[in-house]
Amino acid sequence: MSAAPIYDFAGKVVTITGGSRGLGHAMALGFARAGANVAIASRKIEACESTVDEIRALGADGSAHGVHVGNWRDCDRLADEVYARWGRCDVLINNAGMSPLYPSLAEHTEDLFDKVVGVNLKGPFRLSALFGSRMAAGDGGAIINVSSTAAIRPSRTTTPYSAAKAGLNAITIAFAQEYGPKVRVNCIMAGPFLTDVSKVWAHTDEFKIRSQSTFPLQRAGDPNEVVGAALYLASDAASFTTGAILTIDGGASIPTSE
């Protein structure tokens, strides 16, 4: 393989759900710095537009799309809008997610369950089908799902979320089979990262003690630390990588004797 820069996405189009904050926001700016045009999707159009402004300040371009990925009609609209605006999509990143608190499993409501599964699993399924089929019929592309180590280390406080993310791991492999060889489908299984969502637990003494005693890297990750993996999986550097689930968690999911 040539030693020429492989993270050059000039002329490419990247669509990121949940792209206005957290890991999605970091990846959006990372791809923009690599020259990509980035379509930002989330429920709040104003936040998407603000992120597009940041992308343009970096010398790239972007588009804002207010969608709820748990709604299939919104997923259909997102695909139509992206292809109408850009004429193509080279990379889809299914990053949108939610893991709300609930009092107990017995008190977990059907509505909340459906929302969690809708955003974390149903949406990525539909979007992967919509974008993947168009990629396969065109010049090819890459799909990256953003899962969670909660998929392999579930707890009573993350049960529906863990189940949905485990499902996301599973469909990663299925879609890799469906749309290969022109479309590669991989998954980033993320551990604890310091985002606005994590502020509830990331700064607690309990988490600090646990991370320092059981995580090899002894801390939570910074959102920018996921960008390199996304660039790799989307690039020709990963040309023989598909159906893979890459864990990025500072070693937090490594089994311990404790």
Which active-site residues does the annotation give? 161
- In a 10 Å sphere around its CB, with 0-12 CB exposed, 13-18 middle and 19+ buried, how is residue 233 labelled? buried
Sign, CA dihedral 18-249-231-130, equals: negative
Degrees, nearest 5: CA angle 61-62-67: 180
Indicate the Cα dihedral angle 240, 230, 62, 171, nearest 10°.
70
3-class DSSP state of 210 = helix
133 residue type, one letter: S
Nearest 10 degrees: CA dihedral of 48, 203, 120, 12?
40
Those residues with Cβ within 8 angstroms of residue 59's Cβ, 6 or more apart along the chain or in another chain? 32
